[in-house]
Amino acid sequence: MIVLSGLPFLFRFLPVFLVIYYICPVRYRNAALFLGSVFFYATGEPLFLLLLLGAVVVNYLTGRLIWRKPGSPKLGNTYAGLILGVAVDVLILAACKVLALRSDSFALPLGLSFYIFKMISYQADLFLGKIPERPEFIDTAAYFTMFPQVTQGPIMRYGDAFGADPAKREPEEVKKEETKESSPLEKEDKKEEAAEVSAHALRAQLRRMKEKTSAEAGAENNREKHNGAASSQRSRRETIRKTDRRVSPLDFERGLVLLATGLAFKVLIADRIGILWHEIGTIGYESISTPLAWLGAYAYSLQLYFDFFGYSLIAGGVGVMLGFPMVVNFNDPYRAKGIADFYRRWHVTLGAWFRDYVYIPLGGSRKGPAITVINLLIVWLLTGLWHGGTLNFVIWGLVLGLFIISERFLVKGVMEKSPVLGRIHVWLVIPLTWVVFAISDLEQLKVYFCRLFPFFGVGSTLNPGDFLKYLQIYWPFFLVGILLSVTGTVKFLLMHRRNVLVTLLLTAAFWASIYMLVTTQGNAFMYFSF
Amino acid sequence: MKFFRTVFRMPLTIMLGITFCLIAGAALYGRATVYAEYETAPLEEPYISSVFKGVRDGIYPWGEKKDAHEDELQALLSQVQQQAGVAPAAGGIADATANKIAGPDADPNAGSIAGESSEAENKDADTASETTEKKEDAAEESKEEITSAEDAEKTSEEKKEEGEGEDAAKAGEPSEEKEESSETEEAAKEEEENKEPENPNYIRADSMPEGVNSPVMEAVDYGVAGSRYLSPADTVYNTDEGGVFAQNGDYYTFRDVNDVYFSDALFIGDSRTVGLMEFGGMKESTYFIAKESTNVYNLFTKPLIFSEPDGTRTSRTLLDLLVSKQFRKIYLSVGVNELGIPDTIKFYESYKAAVAVIRQLQPDAIIYIQGIMHVSESKSKSDKVFNNTVVVQRNKAIATLANGHDIFYIDMNPDVCDENGNLLPELTSDGIHLKASGYEKWHEFLLHHAIYRSPDDYLGTGPIDEGVKIPGVTVPAEEGE
């Protein structure tokens, strides 16, 4: 149930939860979301639910210390709360990571890295005054635990969905995208929705005016008792709380499009092409041919991209269905013009987190080149450690940091003159760094690189034609994967989602994904293909 | 109006809704008929999943779709199965099992077996008596037969530890071995007993030393003369993998050969055999027909990849191939995909039927039953399905199919496993398959475990490599080690 791309989630948890959620009055939806999320998390890891809930309570309490009215000065409490909250969060994260690394039996609590980062951002945003209204416990709890994001992100900001004015909820990335590329279709929707909202407000105002003129205060009280439902609805409209979750049917449709797309990416592309990477592991790195090693690097890169991208789309789509703004986590990274650009587009919410809460507080690039270099290295070291505690992740992060530094200081001129170097970085260096990311055993990693660059005589090809065999099987996945990476297909699909062909395509893709899910992981007794 | 305007803006919701209803309708419609056999776990799978499973298996709400070729194949297969004297249809497997299990009472010869099993462990005795009861019940239905099979399965499971221990101990101690006379073996022995003795010095199945036909037994010559292939008296064997014994007393040693030996061999198998084909360094010297997810149930009709020494690869079914081309050696290696179907007896019966079909179609071939390779320790510990307890149990079952005459059981597990019978971690990365570099061990094992009964068994054009020690090739009767 805990896997967003699994049958139990898609056909059991999500429909049931959505029905309850939609029936729920708007102002109780955050509470419903919190309870649903607790149930969701408990089905995955009942034990660590306690850790999650404990962290929620602690962070809410320290958050209360930090929060102050906009414009009022920072007090001792503000600092104490921030230090306490962040210290607790960092401690939990570090302790669990170390434990998981040291012991075989201790697995990292589900989604820990993600929800802890959300918590830190919450504390920091409160400190920076980005959350003008004082958060209610239930809103905070729903934000930390919300089930679409609790396992693998995206790391949404509190202000993007809870604290800010509903009209300004759309995160910046989305807004940019929409102003740039949104279709007339979308604008029309938006206009209509906005009109609806203002019509509501207008009607409510009219009603209020009428009520005030026609009835005395006491009678009004009476009436409220009589038709409690109607009047509570009215009062709700009068004060549209900023944390209320309104969902229009069009939101549901938009979410469904995102979900279907994400599911197809995950199941039809990532899981298929992932088999190749798995097979290479089965063969053993020391025995593969050099072409197969390269094929494997690209297979893993595509797998990782469509797996995480697909997952993020599903999570985002479910979020949209729940009335949250779409959180963009991937913004066509393989169309980037360099590694720095790539990581502005890859796992956007994580990159933004490190930018806002590590890089900028450290001084960013304002304190001269030397500090900038150090800051970049710190950020990338932490990024590496965040992904995993083993040495390969440290190497991965530092290599990326060095490339980004070189892009910034050494080869900037070259990259500005011609896009070639940047593209080489994206299409050659990035897949190689993913290999480092993938193989946590350094000995094995060395072997793999020696197969990629066979100048050192490590290992030997046992079957020189192996890559042809795999290319024959997997070329359609490579083709589709690369095409989807280099073209703006996803945005195109989302933009033209009401086109008949797009609808048919998505319907087919959705059922094809379900077919794959049913036939490959449904029944434990049926899935044996050795 | 506004409602409809909204609805028309939600094409995907509408489309998915409609298609979902259609699929759900199909699932409902076929629930009792075509999809009846699909179990659904209500909490894990949606109701509609049976439709998708149906699509996978070529079953649609309006009936099963089969192409003509498949029908032809099935017809041919059942014809061959009939000739070979095995139950033709899958449904018949349970019946066959029950008949075999019930057999001992009907067969006067089998008295000793029945006695043996009642003397054996209580668990076994329980099962045996249960079987007897079942036999008495004339109106026995196949459902209950399946229950009986499950019981047997449980019994075998209870012996987990013992099973592992036995396997680890290379030289099977007879006393311990006797205890494991499960129904499977009874069935096998009974089957073998029904055969006409080919040799006047025929050793009765029940007096046959345990470990016979197994390469991990002690190399003791039981001294039954009568074959020109027998090792001379006073032969001393250096290893405990000395040879195999036929029930008729024939005795063959495993020989060292070179790759030419495989020039008229066919390797049949699943993904593990695919690995041997790709990385064993044998694909230019022998024939392979293999594909992943091959199992003993789909062995003959599933399209496999047929690889010839000249490098051509075609998609063929095993049945087609065995009908159209004769081989002198057949190496069969399946069993890992079947682990998920929790029924050793069914597996055993199907394996037996498969061997019988191969025998029927390839009368001159030596059939090597290759023991299922064990899995790694981490896999075995963590996986309910793929663990060595089950593998050992299944290997014991299929090992009894060997007759030491033209069907041999070879088991390379001692070469690739540690002392506890777990696949060595350095040879595997997924716990189930050998790494590419590990296939050489399999190849080596095969080179050292060849049966050479007569010059007919070697039809290669070139000489068998003289650098390789091949006892008995030129003058079989005079060779030893």
Question: What gap in Å lies between CA B450 and CA B259, rounded to an integer?
Answer: 11
DSSP label of A525: T
Whole-number pLDDT of residue A153: 82
- Which ranges of A323-441 does DSSP label H, i.e. alpha helix? 339-345, 348-354, 368-387, 391-409, 412-417, 420-424, 430-438
Asked if A189 lies within 8 A of B279 by C-beta distance, the reply is no
Percent of chain B with pLDDT over 90: 19
Measure CA of the first residue to CA of the last residue in chain A; give whole Å: 26
**Confidence category of residue B333, pLDDT binned at 50, 70, 90:** very high
Asked if B55 lies within 8 A of A515 by C-beta distance, the reply is yes
Q: Which residues in chain A have Cβ-Cβ distances shorter than 8 Å to B52?
A: 514-515, 518-519
Q: Among all residues of chain B, which has the CA nearest to that of A288?
A: B436
Closest by Cβ to A286, choosing from B44, B53, B437: B437
Q: Which residues in chain B have Cβ-Cβ distances shorter than 8 Å to A506?
A: 12, 15
Please check whether residue A11 touches B, CB under 8 A. yes
Instruction: Read off the pLDDT of residues B415-434 as tens digits, 9 standing for 90 and up.
Output: 888 888 889 999 998 888 99
* A272/B383: higher pLDDT: A272
Please check whether residue B279 touches A, CB under 8 A. yes
Tell me the average pLDDT of chain B: 68
Residues 307-346 of B with CB under 8 A from A: 336-342
Question: Which structural domains are found in chain B, ordered by start?
Answer: 2-64 (no CATH), 243-478 (3.40.50.1110)
pLDDT beyond 50 at B277: yes
pLDDT beyond 70 at A189: no
- Cα distance from A426 to chain B (closest Cα, Å)? 30
Q: Among all residues of chain B, which has the CA nearest to that of A462?
A: B279
Please check whether residue A523 touches B, CB under 8 A. yes
Please check whether residue A268 touches B, CB under 8 A. no
Please check whether residue A106 touches B, CB under 8 A. no
Check: complex ipTM more than 0.85: no
Please check whether residue A256 touches B, CB under 8 A. yes
pLDDT beyond 70 at B259: yes
Residues with Cβ within 8 Å of B122's Cβ and at least 6 positions away in sequence, in order, are: none
Please check whether residue A519 touches B, CB under 8 A. yes
Please check whether residue B21 touches A, CB under 8 A. no
- Look at the block and give the residue holding tokens 């592309």: A269
Which of A280, A282, A495 is best to mutate for the B interface (most B CBs within 10 A)?
A282
Please check whether residue B431 touches A, CB under 8 A. no
Please check whether residue B57 touches A, CB under 8 A. no
Closest by Cβ to A530, choosing from B15, B46, B432: B432
Instruction: Read off the pLDDT of residues A72-101 as tens digits, 9 standing for 90 and up.
Output: 887 888 899 999 999 999 999 999 999 988
Asked if B16 lies within 8 A of A278 by C-beta distance, the reply is no
- Among residues A148, A151, A152, A156, the alpha carbon closest in space to that of A119 is found at A156
Q: Which residues in chain B have Cβ-Cβ distances shorter than 8 Å to A260?
A: 12, 16
Tell me the one-letter amino acid at B65: K
Question: What gap in Å lies between CA A40 and CA A59, rounded to an integer?
Answer: 21
- Look at the block and give the residue holding tokens 């960092």: A90
Q: Among all residues of chain A, which has the CA nearest to that of B383?
A: A524
- Among residues B239, B166, B80, B223, the alpha carbon closest in space to that of B395 is found at B166
Radius of gyration over alpha carbons of chain A, in Å?
A: 25
**Confidence category of residue B66, pLDDT binned at 50, 70, 90:** low
Whole-number pLDDT of residue B379: 83
Whole-number pLDDT of residue A241: 54
Q: Which residues in chain A have Cβ-Cβ distances shorter than 8 Å to B275?
A: 282-283
Quote the crossing angle between the two packed helices A391-409 and A430-438, to the nearest 10°. 160
Whole-number pLDDT of residue B243: 52
Percent of chain B with pLDDT over 70: 59
Q: Among all residues of chain A, which has the CA nearest to that of B290?
A: A530
pLDDT beyond 90 at B125: no
Q: Among all residues of chain B, which has the CA nearest to that of A516?
A: B52
Whether omega for the bond prior to residue A154 falls within 30 degrees of 0, making it cis, is: yes
**Confidence category of residue A491, pLDDT binned at 50, 70, 90:** confident
Q: Which residues in chain B have Cβ-Cβ distances shorter than 8 Å to A504?
A: 15
Question: Residues of B437-450 as b/e, b for ≥16 C-beta within 10 angstroms?
Answer: bbbbbbbebbbbbb
Please check whether residue B425 touches A, CB under 8 A. no
Integer CA distances (angstroms), B415 to B173, B257, B398, B410, in order: 20, 17, 19, 12
CB-based contact A301:A486 (threshold 8 Å): no
Whole-number pLDDT of residue A208: 62
Asked if B342 lies within 8 A of A525 by C-beta distance, the reply is yes
Instruction: Read off the pLDDT of residues B423-469 as tens digits, 9 standing for 90 and up.
Output: 999 999 888 899 998 999 999 999 888 887 777 776 555 555 444 44
Closest by Cβ to B43, choosing from A8, A466, A514: A8
Please check whether residue B9 touches A, CB under 8 A. yes
Question: Residues of A468-480 as b/e, b for ≥16 C-beta within 10 angstroms?
Answer: eebeeebeebbeb
- Among residues B292, B339, B352, the alpha carbon closest in space to that of B153 is found at B339
Q: Among all residues of chain B, which has the CA nearest to that of A460?
A: B437
Please check whether residue A529 touches B, CB under 8 A. yes
Half-sphere exposure of A284 (CA within 13 A, CB side): 25
Whole-number pLDDT of residue B383: 76
Per DSSP, the three-state class of A386 is helix
**Confidence category of residue A294, pLDDT binned at 50, 70, 90:** very high
- Cα distance from B299 to chain A (closest Cα, Å)? 13
Question: What gap in Å lies between CA A170 and CA B319, rounded to an integer?
Answer: 63
How many A-B residue pairs are in contact by the CB < 8 A criterion?
A: 137
- Please report, to the nearest 10 degrees, the dihedral formed by the alpha carbons of residues A210, A211, A212, A215 taken in order: 120
Closest by Cβ to B9, choosing from A288, A498, A526: A498
CB-based contact A303:A229 (threshold 8 Å): no
**Confidence category of residue A267, pLDDT binned at 50, 70, 90:** very high
Residues 436-475 of A with CB under 8 A from B: 462-463, 466, 469
Cα maximum dimension of chain B: 101
Closest by Cβ to A530, choosing from B9, B336, B437: B336
DSSP A191-230: HHHHHHHHHHHHHHHHHHHHHHHH--HHHHHHHHHHTHHH
Q: Among all residues of chain B, which has the CA nearest to that of A193?
A: B6
Q: Which residues in chain B have Cβ-Cβ distances shorter than 8 Å to A518?
A: 45, 49, 52-53
Q: Is A448 exposed, middle or buried (0-12, 13-18, 19+ CB in 10 A)?
A: buried
**Confidence category of residue B342, pLDDT binned at 50, 70, 90:** confident
- Cα distance from B4 to chain A (closest Cα, Å)? 12
Percent of chain A with pLDDT over 70: 83
pLDDT beyond 80 at A157: yes
Strands B329-333 and B59-60: unpaired
- Cα distance from A523 to chain B (closest Cα, Å)? 8
Q: A350-359, A514-523, B204-213: which has the highest mean pLDDT?
A: A350-359
Structure tokens at A265: 């990416």
Asked if A278 lies within 8 A of B430 by C-beta distance, the reply is yes
Asked if B13 lies within 8 A of A250 by C-beta distance, the reply is no
Q: Is B365 exposed, middle or buried (0-12, 13-18, 19+ CB in 10 A)?
A: buried
